[in-house]
Amino acid sequence: YESLSFAYDDESVLSNVNVEIPVGQVVALIGPSGAGKTTFANLLPRFYDPTQGRITIDGHDLRDLSKKSLREQIAVVSQMPTLFSGTVAENIMLGMLDASRQAIETAAKRAPADAFIRQLPNGYETTVGERGDTLSGGQRQRIAIARALLRNAPLLILHEATSALDAERESAVQGAL
């Protein structure tokens, strides 16, 4: 993030932000509601473009990359993950449709989601319903985390991705990441 500023219409949210994140680093953004944390994260996959300044990856301005190629390098897990009416396995392999069953299960174990998935009526073949409404919030988050782990994208954005997990499961997820 180089001399980056961003505004929604006339409301400035970020002003002259300079951040360099080395490869392999984990960065946490902490601050009060409205401080710009979500905007900061949403600029990386180009949901928005900066008002001023630029974001680069390996020296390449994100605006010079196609959104498709950029987003193939990013996995996002949000507080309210999107699940689709399909099976647990289909929801984990979303974005990685050629994944083997072994790879799906390995990602679920790392999430940690495998144990609860195996207790579902049809295990990985259980249909989760519209928006995953047959699952708890924590179960939906762990499926989304398994999806991100399966993709193994170089950039991972966790946006309050463990907010519905208890401390023990959150610690297990952090260890897996």
Most confident of 75-79, 116-120, 160-164: 116-120
Mean pLDDT estimate for the chain: 89
CB 162 within 8 A of CB 141: yes
pTM for this model (two decimals): 0.81
Helix (H, G, I), strand (E, B) or coil at 105: helix
Q: What is the DSSP letter of 124?
A: G
Question: How far apart are the C-alpha atoms of 89 and 26, rounded to whole Å?
Answer: 28
pLDDT digits (tens, 9 = 90+) for 9-43: 889 999 999 999 998 888 888 888 888 989 999 99
